[in-house]
Structure 1
Amino acid sequence: MDIAHNFSYVFFFEKNWQEAAFWKYMVERWTDSFFYSVIYVVLIFGGQYVMRTRQKFDLRSALAMWSGTLAVFSIAGAIRTIPELVSALRNHGMQYSICVPTYFNGVTSFWAFMFTVSKVYELGDTIFIVLRKQQLIFLHWYHHITVLCYVWYSYTDHTAPGRWFMVMNYTVHSVMYTYYALRALKIHVPKRINILITTLQLMQMIMGCVINYMIYSIKNRGEFCQQTYTNLRYSSMMYFSYFVLFAHFFYNTYLSSNKRSVKKGQ
């Protein structure tokens, strides 16, 4: 199968990566994502119950290390996957980039694997919110659970639009986790960076909805596109719900008159 991008340098772990073995594992075990999700929900809400009568933990150093690790990982993932997406677009066009899953070959196959397993690791974000007694909003834990289950489920089908979803996620997380790490280190970051991150997240959700619509149109024309209608349905519901929730969060946090009036009174 054609590989969309010829990398000038390939690391040994990318070269020796056995994608077929991991795919077989995911086919057999992707439903483990539901088990992880249940454990996650029990821990975070059980943790909130335990913490309600206890003093909050500071955990700034641990949070800085956690976020910093995810920032470095996301930056590396973006650097290694963006060129393949650009090549797919330049050499083959938009329809190819969302319908032909060649990113499961070569270098990007390793980073697709890392992207998939990282969704379990990222559940740890919420532990800091619980132990530091910060507000745990529905968007946060709903997003973590649904992304984990969808990504694990989609890997078994080698869904082609995952190329876009993976690159967008790596890119946004590069900025987001760097911001979290800097804040944990008490390094001043302008508020507009926070607004930028939420804007990027909103754009990511809009792009996800657009891609899903494009795939629906392509498949309805009877043309090949590596995504089942069932997966497309789940993806569309997921991205649209994210868009609504992130738009609501953006409005309440940065635009609502109540928020502005409170700030003026402070």
Structure 2
Amino acid sequence: MSKLQFSVERPFGIYLFDYFDLVFSKIVGHSAKDFHFVQGVTPLSTLNEVIIGCVTYFVVIFGGQYLLKNASPVKCKFFFQLHNAFLTIISFVLLALLVEQLAPKLINKGLYYTICSEDAWTQELELLYYLNYLVKWYELIDTVFLVLKKKKLEFLHYFHHSMTMALCYTQLVGRTTVSWVPITLNLAVHVLMYYYYFRTASGARIWWKQYLTTMQIIQFVIDLVVIYSCTYSYFAFTYAKSLPNFGDCAGTESAAAFGCAILTSYLFLFINFYRITYNKKKAIAASKKDQMKTKSKKI
């Protein structure tokens, strides 16, 4: 075992990627350092696969909902807990590995380099982005559990799940260096979110669900400030250099446009969800309180 040696390059005292490489090599059969995302060669690396995946997802969840219309909810507590425990752990592991790769770049070379330079897109980060993309495929199972338990399918839920998978794909193909900002924030939220679902599935009562939604809204606000700044700077630098900008930014224009559009839609959808869900609860609680006061006066 190597001794803990904390430094900029080793923010956790050890180099986690070396240990990750050992596990990766045993599972895949080759070193993590040999991985490269090649469109059309790497599994699930084509647009057709993403489209087919989204269509299959919708057929499964809405077809399943129709088939189970008259059936009783399926009891799948153990598998639901296992699913959420796995996603809590994998989200935490990916987040830690990303922080390890990003911290030295941010400290040594600054924010602009880390979010915009082509050189900041490294082989290690590409692999972690790809694994995060694969996790988004797995997260589609969230909705299958809702169908089995006969829960209502909200538009926000299935739109967010399917489009996040598509979003991760477009940023991989487009090689947008700024990808790490929404990815790390999303992973941080997901560590807490899937832990919440793991605990509540066992009957625990957790008081901070509302704060999770608040965190998601804050996450999208930060995402949009960063990616709109990068997108603006790219277009100003490329097409209108007379406008103030901080330089070029790596990534394709189509990936930037799709990212801005999807994340903007998420912000409005989550704000609307928060307004409907929590403001409605406050109104109901206030109404019950008024009714109790009225009854006590009559007595």
Q: Same fold (TM over 0.5)?
A: yes
| Equivalent residue in structure 2 for 1:261, among 277, 283, 288 | 283
| Paired amino acid for 1:91 | N
1:124 and 2:141 correspond: yes
Please give the alpha-carbon distance, in whole angstroms, between the structure 1 residues aligned to 2:231 and 2:120.
21
Does the CA-based 8 Å contact 2:64-2:147 persist in structure 1?
yes
Please give the alpha-carbon distance, in whole angstroms, between the structure 1 residues aligned to 2:153 and 2:40.
36
Partner of 1:208: 223
Please give the alpha-carbon distance, in whole angstroms, between the structure 2 residues aligned to 1:235 and 1:87.
26
Larger radius of gyration: 2
1:61 and 2:64 correspond: no
- When residues 24 and 96 of structure 1 are mapped into structure 2, their CA distance, relative to the original with a 3 A threshold, is farther
- When residues 186 and 102 of structure 1 are mapped into structure 2, their CA distance, relative to the original with a 3 A threshold, is farther
Please give the alpha-carbon distance, in whole angstroms, between the structure 2 residues aligned to 1:128 and 1:263.
30
Partner of 1:247: 271
The within-5 A match list for 1:162-201 is 162-190=179-207, 193-201=208-216
- When residues 129 and 79 of structure 1 are mapped into structure 2, their CA distance, relative to the original with a 3 A threshold, is same
CA distances 1:242-263 after superposition (whole Å, capped 9, x unpaired): 0000001111112x2x432324
Corresponding residue pairs, total: 258
Partner of 1:19: 35
- When residues 28 and 152 of structure 1 are mapped into structure 2, their CA distance, relative to the original with a 3 A threshold, is closer
Does the CA-based 8 Å contact 1:31-1:153 persist in structure 2?
no
Deviation of the 1:24 alpha carbon:
5.7
1:34 and 2:51 correspond: yes
| Paired amino acid for 2:145 | F
- When residues 46 and 24 of structure 1 are mapped into structure 2, their CA distance, relative to the original with a 3 A threshold, is closer
Does the CA-based 8 Å contact 1:208-1:239 persist in structure 2?
yes
- When residues 64 and 50 of structure 1 are mapped into structure 2, their CA distance, relative to the original with a 3 A threshold, is same
Task: Kindly indicate whether structure 1 or structure 2 has the higher relative contact order, using CA contacts under 8 Å at least 6 residues apart.
Answer: 1
Identify unmatched segments of 5+ residues in structure 2. 1-7, 26-30, 239-246, 290-299
| Paired amino acid for 1:160 | T
| Equivalent residue in structure 2 for 1:115, among 119, 132, 151 | 132
Partner of 1:158: 175
Please give the alpha-carbon distance, in whole angstroms, between the structure 1 residues aligned to 2:59 and 2:285.
35
CA distances 1:47-86 after superposition (whole Å, capped 9, x unpaired): 1111211111231111111001000100111111123333
- When residues 218 and 261 of structure 1 are mapped into structure 2, their CA distance, relative to the original with a 3 A threshold, is closer
TM-score, structure 1 as length reference: 0.89
Please give the alpha-carbon distance, in whole angstroms, between the structure 2 residues aligned to 1:21 and 1:261.
50
Please give the alpha-carbon distance, in whole angstroms, between the structure 1 residues aligned to 2:73 and 2:105.
48
SS at match of 1:31: helix
- When residues 175 and 235 of structure 1 are mapped into structure 2, their CA distance, relative to the original with a 3 A threshold, is same
TM-score, structure 2 as length reference: 0.79
Does the CA-based 8 Å contact 1:84-1:103 persist in structure 2?
no
Identify unmatched segments of 5+ residues in structure 1. none
Partner of 1:6: 9
Does the CA-based 8 Å contact 1:78-1:167 persist in structure 2?
yes
- When residues 167 and 43 of structure 1 are mapped into structure 2, their CA distance, relative to the original with a 3 A threshold, is same
SS at match of 2:140: helix
Q: What is the Cα-based RMSD across aligned positions, in Å?
A: 2.2
- When residues 62 and 102 of structure 1 are mapped into structure 2, their CA distance, relative to the original with a 3 A threshold, is farther
Deviation of the 1:157 alpha carbon:
2.3
1:231 and 2:231 correspond: no
Please give the alpha-carbon distance, in whole angstroms, between the structure 2 residues aligned to 1:101 and 1:168.
21
